[in-house]
Amino acid sequence: MRINHWGRYTILLLICLSFVITPLASAQDGVTPPVAYPDPPDLEIGGGEINRLPISELVTYMALPEYHQAPWLDALVEAGELPPVEERLPKEPQVYLEASMEDGLGVYGDVWRGFSACPTAGYNDLAGTTMGWFGIESYTTRYQGLIKTGPLYRADQDIEPFPNLAKSWEWSEDGKQLTIHLIEGAYWSDGEPFTADDVIFTWEGYVVDENVNSPRHLDAWTWEGEAASLEKVDDYTIMFTFPVEKPLDMWYLLAEDIFHVMPAHQLQSLHPKWSTADPAPSYKDFADALAPDNLPLVTMGPWVITEYITDELMIMRRNPYYWKVDAAGNQLPYIDEIQYRKGPSGIGRDLCTIAGDCDQMNLENPSTFVEAMVQAQEEDAPYAVTWGPETLGYYVQFNYALHVGIEDTDRDVAVRELFRDLRFRQALSYATDREGIAQSIMRGPFLRAWAGGLYPGAPDFDKESVVYYPYDVNSANILLDEIGLMDTNGDGVREWTEGPMAGEPVVLQLLASQDAAETQSVAEALVNLWGEVGIQINLRIMDSATHTDVDNAGTWDMSVTRGGQSFALPFRGVTDMAPIAANFVWHREGSEPRELLDFEQQLVDIITEYRSTYDAEGRRELMFQYNQIFTENVYNLGVFVGRYGLGQAKRVQNVAEGTPVFLYQWVEDAILLDTLWTPIDQQKEQVRPGTIPVYGE
């Protein structure tokens, strides 16, 4: 990986650069109107140029004259513990072509060293169980989808994905049926055949069954009021039927983090719909069916989780049945072992990589940027850093649901009604010193104020679409007074003055993530800033697994969040952009139909049109409308935006130039991790050398 380095003094100059933040002069007789959103700083920080190619020049499927494997597997074949490598591969394996490998064909061996700050709750991840994030749920283990979107930044187009378990497809003449051809003769890591039955089970058991907490249900697969359907044609062919012609976003509903294929032979008998057990398992039983110690994991991925010590260590070993090879017929992956340390905070990964004990850090917590950049300039630094566009955004999300997560009825309904009042959201926006928060986290040009909505680094972003409410405490106070929230007893906290909560203080809960450290920094700043206008904030910090449970239950008020990919590439996740699906986090469907706000319905209408618009210019215009409505209504409250940095161990080869940390997917899905390799003289010691996953009867 070639890095555009800065000199040490240039970095320090930028880091120490100070901004004079001048509060906007307040309008004395009314609310200050929105102001123009500023241009980004003129900043050149490096990052390699991406060599975009047709997908067909990066991967293909074909039988090769001969196949090879990691040499230590030969002894297992000779001992009869494994079939020969050619018998473990599909009829036509996926082949990574030379153009896909930045540093060429690799050598076998070595360890890839990761770090996770999230507890592993179990392995039935498509049912909402957290495996540990930080790449664990990604390409390293379970996420093997029909298609891949992660590497699309390397393709010369941005809609149709990479093939994966689906090796090819074709549309019917009317564009309403999509026939998909699967790889033939591939095996799960336990040696069981992979077939269309696994795909049908995943569809029916997770997408169709609304009792399972899957990322998307049929309401996301619905166009013009009619849902898509999926049927098995034969053991290696499936067919989708859609109510509209070639729906654009269908590919991203099939993305590897949304629809990855689950092993029917392991899980179908545990699913309440198919189980013959007496008593039948509950859906909670099903979600928890694969406990953290239920190992080895059954996967189609390149590595298999074989050991886990709670909150300490996770070990993965190569999958001897993995179905991809390089152009010389070498079965992938090149690397034998994955090791994950566990820790309490995501900053631990940064510090581990800086120290040379981990192989990758996603620079997403700006509080570590300075140390990472400065240390990278040392001649013997074990890692190098590259930077991407402005797509690292932190925002506050509001819970708009009136019928989900209501525990203290009077209080919870009153709070949700506050969030549904535009004046209240505007007041919080005026009370937020975005630039001050950004500079308090990291001084200099790396971070800046953000209104929310599309990231400034998004291809379809237009700053003229941004409705930006400046920091102005007087305007915030005017709006809060207008709503009828008053400090009636002089204690500095406003009270409701009418309704069931009359006389009660306005006290709101704000969640932050233990794993994403900067959400805590933002939340702590907001506690003080919003306290200045009389809104008392109770901060609650929780780990990812607990946060997910609270999100699903809807028992939260506000949450500081690091934004997802959809605000960079809307077609990547259109159901994340507006309340189309019932499980839309900000406004979930509950026991009664949702009561969409007028602007929410406008956003739904725009996204509904967008998801079937293949014309790039048409999509751009729709996104202008979307962002204007979004920011005008403060649908979420943007705080600051910056850039992701990728810190990668120098010894690791085949990381393509320009690899983004977070675009179509997180970097672990973008990198093609199974092609990474390390020169023999730089390889690290394995914990379990010479071993493969061993499954019980």
Higher pLDDT pick, 546 / 532? 532
Confidence of residue 543 (pLDDT cuts 50, 70, 90): confident
Same fold, 8-48+392-397+404-508+520-537+564-642 and 62-346+645-682: no
Percent of the chain's residues with pLDDT above 90: 76
Phi, psi of 10 (to 5 degrees): -65, -45
CA distances from 619 to 152, 461, 464, 506 (A): 19, 11, 16, 41
Question: Residues with Cβ < 8 Å from 573, sequence gap 6 or more?
Answer: 249, 252, 255, 258, 564, 565, 566
**pTM (two decimals):** 0.82
Q: Which residues pair with 448 in a beta bridge?
A: 641
CA distance 380 to 73: 35
Sequence letter at residue 544? S
To the nearest 10 degrees (0 to 180), the angle between helices 369-376 and 347-354 is 10
Alpha-carbon torsion 93, 99, 102, 105, what sign? positive
CA distance 12 to 480: 42
Residue whose token pair is 């920091």? 471
Instruction: Kindly give the pairing relationship between strand 558-562 and strand 507-513.
Output: parallel
Mean pLDDT for the stretch of residues 175-181 = 97
Sequence letter at residue 326? D
The three-point CA angle 548-552-553 to 5° equals 115
Cβ pair 363, 646 in contact under 8 A: yes
pLDDT digits (tens, 9 = 90+) for 265-312: 999 999 999 999 999 999 999 999 999 999 999 999 999 999 999 988
Cβ pair 15, 370 in contact under 8 A: yes
Count the Cβ atoms, other than its own, within 10 Å of residue 325: 23
pLDDT digits (tens, 9 = 90+) for 636-679: 999 999 999 999 999 999 999 889 888 888 898 999 999 999 99
| Confidence at residue 29, expressed as pLDDT on a 0 to 100 scale | 60
Question: Residues with Cβ < 8 Å from 380, sequence gap 6 or more?
Answer: none
CA distances from 676 to 314, 360, 466 (A): 20, 12, 41
CA distances from 259 to 188, 200, 608, 649 (A): 17, 11, 21, 31
| Confidence at residue 20, expressed as pLDDT on a 0 to 100 scale | 36
| Confidence at residue 47, expressed as pLDDT on a 0 to 100 scale | 61
Cβ pair 377, 11 in contact under 8 A: yes
Q: Which residues pair with 387 in a beta bridge?
A: 645
Cβ pair 302, 78 in contact under 8 A: no
The three-point CA angle 62-65-69 to 5° equals 90
Confidence of residue 145 (pLDDT cuts 50, 70, 90): very high
Sequence letter at residue 389? P
Question: Residues with Cβ < 8 Å from 504, sequence gap 6 or more?
Answer: 411, 495, 496
Sequence letter at residue 59? V
Q: Which residues pair with 145 in a beta bridge?
A: 260
- Asked if the bond preceding 215 is cis, omega within 30° of 0, the reply is no
Instruction: Kindly give the pairing relationship between strand 558-562 and strand 337-342.
Output: unpaired
CA distance 372 to 345: 16
Tell me the two tokens of residue 551.
């999100």
pLDDT digits (tens, 9 = 90+) for 188-198: 999 999 999 99
Confidence of residue 118 (pLDDT cuts 50, 70, 90): confident
| Confidence at residue 615, expressed as pLDDT on a 0 to 100 scale | 87
| Confidence at residue 517, expressed as pLDDT on a 0 to 100 scale | 79
CA 546 to chain centre: 17
CA distance 161 to 665: 12
CA distance 502 to 506: 10
| Confidence at residue 131, expressed as pLDDT on a 0 to 100 scale | 86
Mean pLDDT for the stretch of residues 358-371 = 89
Cβ pair 419, 400 in contact under 8 A: yes
CA distance 400 to 128: 22
Q: Which residues pair with 147 in a beta bridge?
A: 163
Instruction: Kindly give the pairing relationship between strand 313-318 and strand 337-342.
Output: antiparallel
Alpha-carbon torsion 475, 480, 483, 484, what sign? negative
Cβ pair 327, 102 in contact under 8 A: no
Phi, psi of 201 (to 5 degrees): -60, -45
Cβ pair 63, 92 in contact under 8 A: yes
User: Is the pLDDT reported for residue 203 higher than 80?
Assistant: yes
| Confidence at residue 10, expressed as pLDDT on a 0 to 100 scale | 40
Query: Nearest-CA neighbor of 395 among 510, 494, 553, 501?
Result: 510
CA 613 to chain centre: 24
Cβ pair 557, 399 in contact under 8 A: yes
CA distance 636 to 563: 10
Cβ pair 196, 238 in contact under 8 A: yes
> Does domain 8-48+392-397+404-508+520-537+564-642 match CATH 3.10.105.10?
yes
Residue whose token pair is 């940064």? 350
Mean pLDDT for the stretch of residues 98-115 = 96
Mean pLDDT for the stretch of residues 476-486 = 97
Per-domain residue ranges for the chain?
Answer: 8-48+392-397+404-508+520-537+564-642, 62-346+645-682
CA distance 445 to 443: 7
Cβ pair 372, 385 in contact under 8 A: yes
CA distance 179 to 200: 14
Confidence of residue 22 (pLDDT cuts 50, 70, 90): very low
Mean pLDDT for the stretch of residues 600-624 = 93
Question: Residues with Cβ < 8 Å from 173, sequence gap 6 or more?
Answer: none
Cβ pair 550, 390 in contact under 8 A: no
pLDDT digits (tens, 9 = 90+) for 57-83: 999 999 999 999 999 999 999 999 999
Mean pLDDT for the stretch of residues 360-377 = 88
pLDDT digits (tens, 9 = 90+) for 550-570: 988 999 999 999 998 899 999
Confidence of residue 529 (pLDDT cuts 50, 70, 90): very high
At residue 462, the 3 state secondary structure works out as coil
Tell me the two tokens of residue 477.
């106070």
CA distance 329 to 161: 24
Provide the mean pLDDT of the chain.
91
pLDDT digits (tens, 9 = 90+) for 420-429: 999 999 999 9
To the nearest 10 degrees (0 to 180), the angle between helices 598-610 and 616-632 is 170
End-to-end CA distance of the chain: 44
CA distances from 7 to 47, 176, 373, 519 (A): 15, 56, 10, 30
| Confidence at residue 7, expressed as pLDDT on a 0 to 100 scale | 42
Pick the CATH number of 62-346+645-682 from 3.10.450.50, 3.40.190.10, 3.40.640.10, 1.20.1730.10: 3.40.190.10
DSSP at 109: -
User: Is the pLDDT reported for residue 8 higher than 80?
Assistant: no
Of the listed ranges 19-23, 408-412, 529-533, 572-576, the least confidently predicted one is 19-23
Higher pLDDT pick, 11 / 317? 317
| Confidence at residue 142, expressed as pLDDT on a 0 to 100 scale | 62
Mean pLDDT for the stretch of residues 17-43 = 67
